[in-house]
Amino acid sequence: MLPKIFYFIFYTFCILTTKCFVSCKIRSKTYEKYLSVVMDHLSEQVGWDSMQHLEIKYDFSTEINTNIKDVICKGSRIVLPKKFEAIIHILNYTYTDVIHTFIDHISAIAKRCQEYYDFNQGDNFLSCIVLLQSAVENSKTMFEQLYNVMNYLSNIDFKTLASAKKTFSVPIVEEIYTFVEYATLKIQQNTQIFIDLNDPKTKEDAYEVILDVNSFIKGIGNESYQKIKEKNSLIVYNRKPKCLLEENLKDYNTRQNKNIELSYYLSEWLNMYYDEVSTNFYKNLGFDEILELNDASNFKPTLYSYKNICHKQVIEQLNTITKGSGWKSLKHINIIFNGQVISVDRIFRHPTDRINFHCKIQHVLRLIKCIYTEILFKYCKYVICLLNFCETDYVKCIDEVYINLARQIFDAVNETTKMFDIIYKTLLSLHNLRGEYDHDNVNSNLISLCTLITNLLKEIKSGYCSMTVLGTKNDNSNLKEMQFQASTCVKQFSEFLKYYKSKSQPLNKTHEKHCRLRNLSLNIDIPESINTDNFSSACNKLILFSKNVIKVYYEELGLNKLN
């Protein structure tokens, strides 16, 4: 058996690595050239001047800090990946500060509204609520721009630029998206609550706005802020820290003529602040031009070289696949990639384009690999349980029962080969779409998974699990011989699965590390007890499971369009 397994390992490795089976190739030099052009463009922008007070502490053993402009300038000797990492660190810090300012001022306006409510100042209260709601809604464009910058940086493949490095900086993508989502939600709600000042319901609805804003700010908003605050340890602020809210309140209190109401003053200041952030930390940094993917753009990333097909067609193909209805059922699943927790929602939040294609196809492949690995492990565990029941003394002592149960197991196992054929072909198709990529262990994991599936299929189809060995019906005159044949098949397959399980341990470790699939919606749970009465049902459950896998994790995901 061992020579056969080694042959199939070699065969699978050849399929996944030989150029004639790979439909595209990654052009790392072209990608590096594109990112160099991007960096040169960024380094020339005036927006970095406003960040001269921020320095990066690369070496904790020394007191030497580096200014951002010195890091990213064309004459800098710092390598390209480190330049982008410096930008990520600086923008993580800067955008965290924007979030802090937003939280402070929104909280202050909500507090003012609460005071009007407590003192029953109806007109002032409703006016304050209008300003509070508008202040949140008006932040949407600003937060979207910051999110787009971070999302762009998160789609840079640092492994292609620096394959030897194991960890990279993580942009605060999801944390900023929290605020984009909330502002979008408030706009969608757009509750018309300010109609009749004499209607008690109006006051109740208005007060709900305060409760909702406070709930977000003190809950998920503050959690996101605290989480990203911890990621800014490399940034040194070389000026005296200042709190913008305190300065604004001080400025307001020193005004001799207070014809302006505080909530109005703060909301107007916020509107100007949103524009200032959009100008200084988005447009003046040059990201608006980089993210504009029109025909006239000078920043069109090209990572792949395809044979007989253009990049645009491949992008459209991936977009077609990801429109499948089944992806919504996977929203609760997360994968781990380069230290980032990537949710399915994040993977499919935006259509595939030139900028995100490379990372998106990797995420899709990793996600599907995680699901299929979990399915394989669950399947093997379930079959081993059925085989173990056949080997109990109670079953083995009755020849006819033993033969019947063995036949049912192998009937069910043979019915599941279609599932593994489809899984194998799908993994190969996704691999070919993704192309050669040697900088991440997803390749070796993929080879391991495909090898295991190949070996399992070959073992099932080898004849040891075939019903022709056991015959099609019982012959009472030859029960002992049939029982011996059945026992040989069960033991042979059982030994294979145990060896198979030991060979899958390295894959299992990386699976546990990179895949968070404990809530896989489609399961095959081992019955609490198996007996001769429910054994047939347990075998049928295996067949049903394989059919459901094909339906849920292949057809409904649109992956059938690949094969």
**DSSP state string for 406-453:** HHHHHHHHHHTHHHHHHHHHHHHHHHHHH----SSTHHHHHHHHHHHH
Q: Which percentage of the chain shows pLDDT scores above 90?
A: 40
Which among 14-23, 275-284, 390-399 has the top mean pLDDT? Answer: 275-284
pLDDT at 17: 45
Residue 339 contacts residue 168 (beta carbons within 8 Å): yes
**Mean predicted lDDT score pLDDT of the chain:** 83
Which among 332-341, 366-375, 476-485, 516-525 has the top mean pLDDT? Answer: 366-375
pLDDT at 308: 63
Question: Shortest CA distance to 515 belongs to which of 284, 333, 274, 245?
Answer: 333
Kindly list the distances between the CA atom of residue 558 and the CA atoms of 46, 199, 427, in Å, as whole numbers in the listed order: 46, 52, 13
Residue 15 — pLDDT band, cuts 50, 70, 90?
A: very low
Residue 99 — pLDDT band, cuts 50, 70, 90?
A: very high
pLDDT at 264: 95
C-alpha to C-alpha distance for 55 and 66, rounded to whole angstroms = 5
The tens digit of pLDDT for each residue in 139-177 reads 999 999 999 999 999 988 887 777 666 677 889 999 999
pLDDT at 68 over 50: yes
Say whether 528 sits in a helix, a strand or coil.
Answer: coil
pLDDT at 8: 45
The tens digit of pLDDT for each residue in 352-361 reads 888 888 888 8
pLDDT at 22: 44
pLDDT at 445 over 90: no
DSSP state of 55: E
Residue 437 — pLDDT band, cuts 50, 70, 90?
A: low
Section 465-491 average pLDDT: 70
Which residues share a beta bridge with 515?
Answer: 335
Residue 9 — pLDDT band, cuts 50, 70, 90?
A: very low
The tens digit of pLDDT for each residue in 169-211 reads 889 999 999 999 999 999 988 755 555 666 777 888 889 999 9
Residue 334 — pLDDT band, cuts 50, 70, 90?
A: confident
Q: Which percentage of the chain shows pLDDT scores above 70?
A: 83
Residue 227 — pLDDT band, cuts 50, 70, 90?
A: confident
C-alpha to C-alpha distance for 92 and 173, rounded to whole angstroms = 9
Which residues share a beta bridge with 337?
Answer: 340
Q: What burial class does residue 311 get, using C-beta atoms within 10 Å of its C-beta: 0-12 exposed, 13-18 middle, 19+ buried?
A: middle
Tokens of 281: 């930390």
pLDDT at 255 over 90: no
The residue ranking higher by pLDDT, 438 or 252, is 252
pLDDT at 113 over 50: yes
pLDDT at 223 over 50: yes
Say whether 51 sits in a helix, a strand or coil.
Answer: helix
Handedness of CA 87, 90, 92, 96 (dihedral sign): negative
Section 325-348 average pLDDT: 84
